[in-house]
Amino acid sequence: MSTALVTGASAGIGRALAHALADRGYRLVLVSRDAGRLEALAAALPSSGLPHQVLAADLTTMDGCRRVERRLQDDAHPVELLVNNAGIAPPQPFPRNPVETEETVLDLNVRAVLRLTHAALPGMLARHSGGVLNVASVAALGPGWLASTYPPSKSWLLAFTESVGRSRQVRRAGVRMTAVLPGYTRTEFHSRARISTGNFPAWMWLSPSRVAETALRDLERGRTVSIPGTRYRLLCWALKHLPRPAVLPWCWDPSDATGSDDRALADERHSPTER
């Protein structure tokens, strides 16, 4: 039986991927911070042999990363598929967040992916089999969403997947790397990032199970990039091929265009306690 390790498995797309992989006969290692939710998921997933494993870890911390790295390096119980899914967006536009919040986004969306992939790949190359699925975003093709560290973090993830996944060493070993670029998907992501979704039209929404099924199908087909949904495939084509000046007017800019945000920031910087 093959083993897959899924980060961010307690909710949303990661949870859907865990279900889809369990249906395909994988034994799962479920990773996120919430051990209770992971235990409940492990008990609910179909199992065809060994029980699924729960590994609670905060991947924004070095300690959390190292614990998951050690599991990935355990050659006695190899992980054949690594799913780097856990990801967050900052709750406010860039200048308003404490710098630590911005760093946390990079710690999870970039550093954890880099470290876990680095831990998993040598074993996969030695065994001449394996896969890495990286959940990026349509935002990776930017601009699209301004004043946020989130799109650049996903651009890194896409570029990283293409760079490592298309390298000769990885391809010769038969190891597959796929970046998934979902559009708006109904999960806990937007409420966690305090993004109001009331005005988003229904046609823009994808279900987590659709994202998961498309991603796994494209990984199995050896595609480097997977884009769930025909509308989002067209949008991605436009984002890749249209000149930037034609795209910029359509970008979502959560920073306050009226300037009141700038005034609030200026007031904070010159508050009486700091004068």
Ligand X SMILES: NC(=O)c1ccc[n+]([C@@H]2O[C@H](COP(=O)([O-])OP(=O)(O)OC[C@H]3O[C@@H](n4cnc5c(N)ncnc54)[C@H](OP(=O)(O)O)[C@@H]3O)[C@@H](O)[C@H]2O)c1
Query: Interaction with ligand X in 185-214: which residues (CB under 6 A)?
Result: 185, 187-189, 192
Which residues, in sequence order, are CB contacts of 61 under 8 Å at separation 6+?
107
Choose which of 3, 32, 117, 149 interacts with ligand X (CB under 6 A).
Answer: 32
**Smallest separation (angstroms) from ligand X to the CB of 121:** 20
Q: Say how many residues touch ligand X, by CB under 6 A.
A: 29
How far is residue 225 from each of residues 5, 23, 161, measured CA to CA in Å?
Answer: 20, 23, 9
Q: Tokens for 165?
A: 């996944």
Residues 95-134 that bind ligand X (CB under 6 A): 108
Spell out a b/e string for 5-27, using b for 16 or more CB atoms within 10 Å of the CB, else e: bbbbbbbbbbbbbbbbbbeeebb
Q: Which stretch binds ligand X (CB under 6 A): 178-186, 219-227, 244-252, 266-274?
A: 178-186
User: Catalytic annotation on 184?
Assistant: no
Q: Site for ligand X (CB under 6 A): which residue of 28, 55, 72, 86?
A: 86
Find the shortest distance in angstroms from Cβ 214 to ligand X: 13
Which stretch, 93-101, 179-187, 230-238, 247-255, contacts ligand X (CB under 6 A)?
179-187
For residue 232, what are the CA distances in angstroms to 54, 201, 204, 216? 33, 14, 9, 17
* Chain residues in the site for ligand X (CB under 6 A): 7-14, 32-34, 37, 58-60, 85-88, 108, 135, 137, 182, 184-185, 187-189, 192
Annotated catalytic residues are: 150
